[in-house]
Chains A and B, each alone.
Chain A
Amino acid sequence: MKPYLIVAALGLGAVFSQTASAAALKVFTCEPEWGALLQELGGDHLDVYVATSALQDVHKIQPRPSLIAKYRQADLVVCTGSELEIGWLPPLAEKGNNPRVIPGAAGYFEASRYVHMLEVPEKLDRSEGDVHPFGNPHIQTSPENIGLVAKPLADKLAELDPADKADYAQRYASFDTRWQAAMAKWTAEAAPLKGVAVVSAHKGWVYMYHWLGMTEVATLEPKPGIPPSGADLENVLATLKRTPAKMVVYAAYQDPRPVGWMEEHSGLPGARLPFSPGGLKGTDDLFGFYDVTIQQLLNALNGKSS
Chain B
Amino acid sequence: MSHLFRRSAAALLILGAPGAVLAQTQSGNSFNPKISLILNGQYAHYSSKAPADVAGALLGGESDYAPEGFSIGETELAIESNIDDQFHGWTAISIGNDGHGNADVSVEEAYINTLALPDGLAVKLGRFFSDIGYQNHVHAHAWDFADAPLVYRTFFGGQLGDDGVQLRWLAPTDLFLEIGAEGLRGDAFPAGGDSRSGVEAWTAFAHVGGDIGFSGSWRLGAWHYDGKSDDRRSSGDEDVDTSFTGKSHINGLDFVYKWAPNGNPEVHNFVLQAEAMRRSENGSVIYDPDGAADASAYDGTQFGWYVQGVYQFIQRWRVGLRYDRMNASNSVANPVGGTSLATLADDGDHPQRVSAMLDFSNSEFSRIRLQYNRDESRPDNKADNQILVQYIFAMGSHPAHQF
Which of A's residues lie within 8 Å of B, judged by CB? 1, 3, 6-7, 9-10, 13-14, 17-18, 20, 52-53, 55-57, 60-66, 68-70, 72-73, 83, 86-88, 90-91, 93-99, 102, 104-105, 116-122, 124, 126, 129-130, 133-135, 210, 225-227, 253-255
Bound-state CA distance A72–B177 (Å) is: 11
Contact between A98 and B120, CB atoms less than 8 A apart: yes
Contact between B400 and A66, CB atoms less than 8 A apart: no
Contact between B116 and A64, CB atoms less than 8 A apart: no
Distance in Å: Cβ of B261 to nearest Cβ of chain A: 9
A interface footprint on B1-35 (CB within 8 Å = 1, 0 otherwise): 00010011011001110110110011000000000
Residues of B within 8 A of A73 (CB): 172-174
Residues of B within 8 A of A83 (CB): 398
B70 at the interface (CB under 8 A from A): no
Q: Known contacts A90-B400, A117-B22, A227-B315: does B207 contact A102 (CB below 8 Å)? A: no
Distance in Å: Cβ of B14 to nearest Cβ of chain A: 7
Please report the total number of B residues contacting A with Cβ < 8 Å: 74
Distance in Å: Cβ of B96 to nearest Cβ of chain A: 25
- The 11 listed contacts between A and B (C-beta, < 8 Å) are A3-B183, A6-B204, A10-B169, A17-B172, A62-B265, A62-B403, A63-B402, A87-B401, A133-B25, A134-B25, A253-B262
Bound-state CA distance A133–B34 (Å) is: 14
Distance in Å: Cβ of B270 to nearest Cβ of chain A: 12
Q: Known contacts A62-B258, A62-B265, A119-B18: does B25 contact A10 (CB below 8 Å)? A: no
Closest partner residue, chain B, to A115 (CB atom): B7
B179 at the interface (CB under 8 A from A): yes
Residues of A within 8 A of B365 (CB): 126
Bound-state CA distance A70–B253 (Å) is: 25
Closest partner residue, chain B, to A258 (CB atom): B315
Bound-state CA distance A86–B395 (Å) is: 16
B contact patch SS: mixed
Query: Of B210-218, B302-310, B338-346, B374-382, which binds chain A?
Result: B210-218
Q: Known contacts A9-B179, A60-B266, A64-B403: does B119 contact A70 (CB below 8 Å)? A: no
Contact between A94 and B118, CB atoms less than 8 A apart: no
Contact between B265 and A225, CB atoms less than 8 A apart: no
Distance in Å: Cβ of A132 to nearest Cβ of chain B: 10
Contact between A65 and B172, CB atoms less than 8 A apart: no
Contact between B118 and A68, CB atoms less than 8 A apart: no
Residues of B within 8 A of A116 (CB): 4, 7-8, 11
Contact between B25 and A66, CB atoms less than 8 A apart: no
Residues of A within 8 A of B246 (CB): none
Contact between A17 and B22, CB atoms less than 8 A apart: no
Contact between A65 and B176, CB atoms less than 8 A apart: yes
Residue from A7, A17, A135 with most neighbouring chain B CB atoms (10 Å): A17
